[in-house]
Each structure stands twice: as structure tokens, then as C-alpha cells.
Structure 1
Amino acid sequence: MAERRVTQRDVASASGVSPATVGFVISNTPTQTISAATRERVLRAAKELGYVPHGIARAMREGTSRVVVLNIDASLEGNYSRSYIQGLDEELATHEHVLVIKHGRPSEDSTARLTHMVSPRAIVEFAANYSSGKELADGGWHDGLAAHTATQLSYLADRGHRRLAMALPENPTVFARIREEFARQTVERLGLPPLVTLIVPEPAAGGVDAVREFLRADPVDAVAGFTDEIALRVLHCAATLGLGVPDELAVIGYDATAYAALSSPALTTVYIDAEAHGRRAARRLLGLDESDLAGAPARVLVRESA
């Protein structure tokens, strides 16, 4: 038998006030003058009884849902997305909203069905910034994707590498191409020769052939992976080809996945704490001030590969 839900009437009975007064206190109604002592008594009773406001009823009163949906493509999942989701979820919860995560690339039909069933307050696209004209809307060269990419490439340059490549998967996404463009701009700012692009396909044999032909045609000092996964593919190919890492070819990943530390040599990578990004997104969609939320700078986890 399910435990009976504690109601405002229960809180009213426990605190010796009317249910209406409880409602005014719980919803913090600005037009009602309630003494501090009465307010404290109601809130104490609500806490002791374990009262939780009924979200559906509140949403009906406010004319808006308290559900926020996040669309995220599985290919973008990593440390950045995990910390972003943590910040988004915690900040929404602070303001009495619930986060629902929907995996996979959304279609118009799936979005319409979701909206009909849930009626969310907002649907957030995880990579929404990374479309034409919005690439720097996430913090740009200060603490956004551009800055994180610059951290990756600048690390290689600081260690004396001049001929740099960015390794991408086959059929790169728009997100990958934007990272590549930020990498090109970073290399230009550093006064290095133009960045070159290395496509690393699957399976492993295809990747080895591609890396062999690439290095034969355009030898480079170091490779920056689009993600840790791509960087690990490059490490595998380098080992198969008998290349010394990092002496003959330095390799750095991106987004600090758990597998990066398990490779041999262990993969140097970029760690990004995106909790503040998620919190800023939550406040933005709720129409709240976000100026006090500063993001932590990206940092390099130095290991053996670069």
C-alpha cells in the first residue's frame, strides 16, 4: 500500500492555521501579510511532516510546466556533458524544476510528441550554440568551446611542437567542424604553420592505413584529437606503425574520459568543468540573473602521450 501523500490540510492542522494560510506561506504569496512567527510555524510543520508541493497543481495555477527537457546526442556524451547536466539539474532543482533528459537526435515528430505528453517549460538542445552565428555564445574565447580548444592546441605549442594536426572522425559533425575551425584560429594566433586535418576512420585497419598515408604526405609533430576516442585511435595507429609517442608523434585528447588514463602510453587530455555552464543555462531559461556564475578554466591533465 502506497504511503498517503502529506497535504496542505495536514500542515494546517499541525501548525494550527487554515489551509489557505499554508498555501500563502508555501507559495510565498507577496500580496499576503503573514507574521514571521506564523510563517516559521508553518514551514517547521511542513518540514517535520515531509510535505512536498504538488507540482502538477502548482503548474496548473502558474500556467506553465516545471519540467525542462534536455536533448543530447549520445555522440556528445563525456565529462563536459556530465558536468553540464549536473549543473543544469541542480540549478533547476534549486528553483523547483525537474530535468528530463532525452537521448538521440530529435526529429520534429518526436519533439511534437514529447511536447504534447509532457508540456515542458522549455526544451534545451545541448549543442544549440554550435550552429551558424552562435558559435561564441557559450563563453567563446573566455571559457567556452573556443577557449577549451585553444587550451588543447596551446599546450602542444608550449612544448615546442610546430606542425599540428587535428584528428577528426569520418563524416565530421557540425560540432566537430566548429572545433576544427577554432583550432585553425588558435594555430594562426600562435604564429604556427596552418593546421592540417587528419581523418581517422574505423575499423582499426582503416585507421592505420589513413594515418600512414597522412604522415607520409604531410608529416606533423603532434595531433590534437577531436575527442579522447579519436585521440586513442591515433595512439593505436601510432603503436601499430612503430612510432614513438610522444618523441616522434605527440597526441593529446579532449574531454578527459575515464579511458584516457588506461591507454599505453596514458593519454594527455583536456579536462573541462562545465557545471557553471549548466547552471547558467538553467538561469537563462528561467529568466534569472546569471552574472555571478563564473566557469572554471579548462586544464590539461598531463600524462605520457604529449
Structure 2
Amino acid sequence: MRKRTTLKDVAQEAGVTAATVSYVINNTPGQSIRPETRRRVLQAVRRLNYMPNAHARTLRNRTVPCVGVVLRRNLSVPRFSQMAFGIQTRLEEEGYNVLLLGNRADALGHADYASAYLAGRVGGIIFIGIENEGPDPESLKILSDESAPLVVFDCQQQADTYSTVDLDYRGGARLITSRILERGCRRVLYLRPQVDTAQERLREQGVRDICEASGAELLVREAPIDLHNIDVWDERYTVGSTEDGIKLSEELIETARDLLTEAEDGDAIITSWATWTHFFRKIAPERNLIYAELANNGENWLAANFYTRLPNYETGIACAEEVLSLMRGGAPSARIIKLTNVIEPKLEPRRH
């Protein structure tokens, strides 16, 4: 391992005293630092990749009873709130607190979760990926050099120095597609977002696997939702219908109309995301079609004939258990969570 950059190294690089460096990086109250001096110190910090390390100084022989959860997503979205609750519940059972981190750069230009670990504020980290993107390479190296307990969720990555937890998107899509084709469907229309991530590729591949194996025809179409407007789509969980959100919903409705013109009675329409089948039912409630959703978090359980209930709470518990294992000296592992909870809701007639 290369020699760690010290406070004195930064001071020498910036041409100031070690005390001045300490005042700048800690934003010490009552110290008047000239803007030019502060700028030189921060530039030296970034050039030398210096990070204060409380673990190295004082925390090597004791446990920090807090786990950092990196989650830069809208917590009003059921998937993320359910998972966060699972993490919190399991960690609290073991006497640990949770520190929510947003994966933002701190004053020194480093990711907040790497800084939080080195500053001794957390003893382990659960990183929840954004559209299957994991920690940045610089932060991974910092945490790896420190043997930091790290669990990465939903990034579909292989790793040796940290644990991973992933969902079996392909297997889940295969299972629900098989259930649909058992109904006698010979053609499947699959609607997915305009998002090129491992999650979406695996889902489509699972649908494709079963259609090819059974000889069913598969048509793949894309909804007008992508990485640039996904936050607009999620806003309906917090502020309701916004002008941009209504416009996006109208575009999705038009996509559904177009898809319905291609569909024939007896076909199946599978959507990658939850709530989309509601638009089809709203447009053409009389059509003899089978609807399915590959992911449902409890938002909409009557529009689809089949849906896969995502194990979000259970996944949160799994991530918490993995980070606890690492914090207690366990070896990194890779956990795959199967998506087997395919539900076929039945609307019972009202009894008078």
C-alpha cells in the first residue's frame, strides 16, 4: 500500500503551516483565512488526494455503532422507502444507527460516504445504486485501501473487496412470462423505458428467453421515460401532478394507445415498471388482453392480471445483514435475491 498523504504533506505542497491546513479542512470557527490561501490549500488537498482519517488515528480498536446508507433517490417512492425501512429495522435490532448520505462531493471534493467512513462517523456503508451505477472508482479505492465494510446493492457487479446484493431480474421476468404463456398467449408486447441499464437489459432478456423457448412472438416497444426525466416521473409520489409530470403521463398514454393498436385479442402486454398497466386499462377496459408488470411495490394491484411483488423490505434486511457480517470480520459475499413472488390478483364482486 502506498504511503498515506499526511497533513504535513499538504502544508508543504500549499506553502502554509499544518495548523492552517487543519483550519481550512475543518472550517474552524474564529480563524480568518485569506481566500487565496484557502484556495491553495484545497487545491493541494485535491492534488495529493488527502483525506482526514479518524479511523486510522483513534478508531481501529472499537466499533462505530452507525452505518452509512448511500441513497440519492426520492424516498417517497415506495421501492426506496420500503428498502430503507428494512435496513433501519435490522440495524436497530443490533443497536446500530443509520446515517443517510446523498453521494455528494464534500468540501474537499470527495464523495460524502468515503469521507464519513474516514472521519469515523460510520463503521460500514450500504451503497444503493442509481440505475445500476455503483460507487465511483476513486471512492472504491479509498474504501478498499482501508478494508472498509461496504455492501453495494443493485449494481450487477462482481467484486472481491466488498459484498454485493442484487435482484434476479432475468429470472423474475422468465417466471412471470411463463405464467402468462400458460394462459395460451402466443404473442407478447413488452413495454420498457428508454433506459439502457443492466436491470432493464436483464428484464428484457428474461422475457425474450421464454418467448423464444415457447415459440411466442415478441414485440418490444419503449415508453417515453428515460434517465433525464425519471425524477419527473417520481415526483408524483411527493408533490402530486406537476405540469411536467402531466405532460409525461400524456406521452405515456399515447404510447399505450399506439401499442393497443398493435395488440390483438388474446395477446399479453408486459410492462417493465409498476402502474403502467393502469393506462392500458383506462384507455381500453373492454379489450381481451392479459396484462403483467415485472415490478410492483404495492402501488397498483388491480390493473395487472399478474405482477411481481418486489421484496424491497426483505432486500433492505439482506443488505443490513451483509454489512453487519463485514463489520464483524466476515468475508465479502455475493447475494442474489430471487423474484418469485408472482401475484395473480382477483377482484371479488361486491356483496350486498
Report TM bin, short chain.
0.5 to 0.7
Deviations 1:161-212 (A, max 9, x none): 22112222344554333322333234334x2435332223353443343334
| Mapping of residues 126-205 of structure 1, within 5 Å | 126-127=128-129, 128-131=152-155, 133-134=157-158, 138=165, 144-171=168-195, 173-189=197-213, 191-193=214-216, 195-201=218-224, 203-205=248-250
2:254 to 190, 197, 209: 209
Displacement of 1:227 in angstroms is: 1.7
Relative to structure 1, the CA distance from residue 96 to residue 284 in structure 2 (aligned partners, 3 Å threshold; closer, same or farther) is same
Paired residue for 1:229? 275
Q: Secondary structure at the match of 2:122?
A: coil
Where does the alignment leave 5 or more consecutive residues of structure 1 unmatched?
A: 1-58
Paired residue for 1:279? 317
Paired residue for 2:115? 116
Displacement of 1:260 in angstroms is: 0.9
Which structure has the highest strand share of the two?
Answer: 2
User: Aligned partners of 1:68, 1:152: CA distance in 2, in Å?
Assistant: 35
1:125 to 124, 127, 133: 127
Relative to structure 1, the CA distance from residue 272 to residue 266 in structure 2 (aligned partners, 3 Å threshold; closer, same or farther) is closer
User: Aligned partners of 1:169, 1:275: CA distance in 2, in Å?
Assistant: 24
Paired residue for 2:341? 298
What letter matches 1:253 in structure 2?
E
User: Aligned partners of 2:116, 2:285: CA distance in 1, in Å?
Assistant: 55
Displacement of 1:102 in angstroms is: 4.0
Displacement of 1:82 in angstroms is: 4.5
Which structure has the highest helix share of the two?
Answer: 1
User: Aligned partners of 1:223, 1:266: CA distance in 2, in Å?
Assistant: 9
User: Aligned partners of 1:75, 1:158: CA distance in 2, in Å?
Assistant: 37
Alignment of 1:251 onto 2:251: no
CA contact under 8 A between 1:87 and 1:279: conserved in structure 2?
A: yes
Displacement of 1:157 in angstroms is: 1.5
Displacement of 1:276 in angstroms is: 3.9
- After the TM superposition, which of the residue ranges 218-227 and 75-84 deviates more from structure 2? 75-84
User: Aligned partners of 1:172, 1:124: CA distance in 2, in Å?
Assistant: 24
User: Aligned partners of 2:76, 2:124: CA distance in 1, in Å?
Assistant: 21
Relative to structure 1, the CA distance from residue 75 to residue 294 in structure 2 (aligned partners, 3 Å threshold; closer, same or farther) is closer
CA contact under 8 A between 1:187 and 1:194: conserved in structure 2?
A: yes
CA contact under 8 A between 1:88 and 1:281: conserved in structure 2?
A: yes
User: Aligned partners of 1:73, 1:178: CA distance in 2, in Å?
Assistant: 23
Relative to structure 1, the CA distance from residue 98 to residue 273 in structure 2 (aligned partners, 3 Å threshold; closer, same or farther) is same
**Count of paired positions:** 230
CA contact under 8 A between 2:172 and 2:206: conserved in structure 1?
A: no
| Mapping of residues 29-48 of structure 1, within 5 Å | none
What letter matches 1:206 in structure 2?
E
Displacement of 1:68 in angstroms is: 1.7
| Mapping of residues 260-279 of structure 1, within 5 Å | 260-261=300-301, 265=303, 268-279=306-317
Where does the alignment leave 5 or more consecutive residues of structure 2 unmatched?
A: 1-57, 130-151, 159-163, 225-246, 348-352
Paired residue for 2:97? 98
CA contact under 8 A between 2:188 and 2:269: conserved in structure 1?
A: yes
User: Aligned partners of 1:75, 1:151: CA distance in 2, in Å?
Assistant: 29
Relative to structure 1, the CA distance from residue 101 to residue 196 in structure 2 (aligned partners, 3 Å threshold; closer, same or farther) is farther
CA contact under 8 A between 1:88 and 1:279: conserved in structure 2?
A: yes
Q: CA RMSD in A?
A: 4.0
Relative to structure 1, the CA distance from residue 195 to residue 233 in structure 2 (aligned partners, 3 Å threshold; closer, same or farther) is same
User: Aligned partners of 2:60, 2:125: CA distance in 1, in Å?
Assistant: 21
Deviations 1:120-145 (A, max 9, x none): 223322244544555xx6476xxx33
What letter matches 2:278 in structure 1?
L
User: Aligned partners of 2:187, 2:124: CA distance in 1, in Å?
Assistant: 45
